[in-house]
Amino acid sequence: MKKETIGIVGLGLMGGSMALAVKEVCDGCRFIGYDHNRRHCKEALHLGIVDEIAESLHSLEMCDIVFLAVPVDGIIAIAETFRPRHDRCTVIDLGSTKAKISRSIPEAYRAHYVTAHPMTGTEKFGPSAAFTELYRDKVVVLCDLERSGEHQRRVAVKLFALLGMKLVYMDAEAHDRHAAFISHMPHALSYALANSVMRQEDPESIVALAGGGFRDMSRIAKSNPDMWEDIFRQNKANLLEAIEAFEKELGECKKMIEQERWEALNRWMSEANALHNIL
């Protein structure tokens, strides 16, 4: 990858890891960071995630590539005012919902944007959580790519391929429904699990008895509430459908236990085992 000037808006886990990953495939690229959290700016500079901090968001409009790695409501707000200043500028948003973001980008600048969702992350956040391998071997969903300019499409496809990602192409509306079931609903369940346990058990019992299963299922409840509030809000209808589907399955499980239908319960659990054949 040739030398480029790359802007990173949002210097937490996703943005910081993107900067570190791109540095691995772009020798000589210059990285300019921007974050409303000044502590994150200082930390990102100290950790070598970016080379300098922009004084304003609009000073990144001259960059060759700009990554938007902020909560989804923030991406929409940025898209309304961010104006790329040359034809080759490529703006790639990394939001977890896509339909509202794709629709919100002004038509005059839509060709500059690539709406992408890297299917990766951890429960940690902030610049110190960033690491180079976050994106390697992970799926990235590119949505409504026909609305992006030819140059911008080439840049995004080449860049994500260089990062070792698996590219999937999808309509933004379809993406949001699939993401509600596969990503967003599990986060809602993890928050619910954590709250239900904490409201029934004292901390000492949780520490003493929590095994690997509970830790695995509750891990993502440590995720940033501000970020996930935005995601839940933007994907409300799809998320409610996913939660209702889960409630139906959980209700069936409850009935079988209440009625002591153990063979039926065993079959139900065996059906769930088939998921491991897919994953």
Output the domain CATH number for residue 51.
3.40.50.720
Residues 21 and 146 in one domain: yes
Residue 223 above 90 pLDDT?
A: no
Residues 187 and 209 in one domain: yes
Q: Over the stretch 55-96, which tens digit does the pLDDT of each residue have?
A: 899 999 999 999 999 999 999 999 999 999 899 999 999 999
The residue segments making up the domain with residue 99 are 5-170
Residue 209 confidence class, pLDDT cut points 50, 70, 90: low
- Nearest-angstrom CA–CA distance, 153 and 151: 5
Give the predicted TM-score (pTM) of the model.
0.86
Of 112, 135, 170, the last residue of a domain is 170
Residues 164 and 44 in one domain: yes
Of 153, 170, 187, the last residue of a domain is 170
Residues 201 and 246 in one domain: yes
Residues 70 and 160 in one domain: yes
Residues 52 and 166 in one domain: yes
Position 28 scores a pLDDT of 87
Residues 113 and 207 in one domain: no
Provide the token pair at 153.
């499409």
Q: What is the CATH number of the domain that holds 239?
A: 1.10.3660.10
How many folded domains does the chain comprise? Answer: 2
DSSP 3: -
Positive or negative, the CA dihedral 235, 56, 49, 37 is: negative
Q: Over the stretch 150-190, which tens digit does the pLDDT of each residue have?
A: 999 999 999 999 999 999 999 999 999 999 999 999 999 99
Cross-strand partners of 34: 9
Residues 197 and 236 in one domain: yes
Helix (H) or strand (E) run with residue 166 in it:
strand 166-170
Position 270 scores a pLDDT of 94
The CA-atom distances, in angstroms, between 221 and each of 69, 229, 235 are: 20, 12, 18
Provide the token pair at 149.
């300019």
Residue 212 above 90 pLDDT?
A: no
Residues 111 and 53 in one domain: yes
Pairing of strands 166-170, 139-143: parallel
Residues 157 and 262 in one domain: no
Residues 36 and 161 in one domain: yes
Of 149, 170, 191, the last residue of a domain is 170
Helix (H) or strand (E) run with residue 32 in it:
strand 30-34
Residues 248 and 180 in one domain: yes
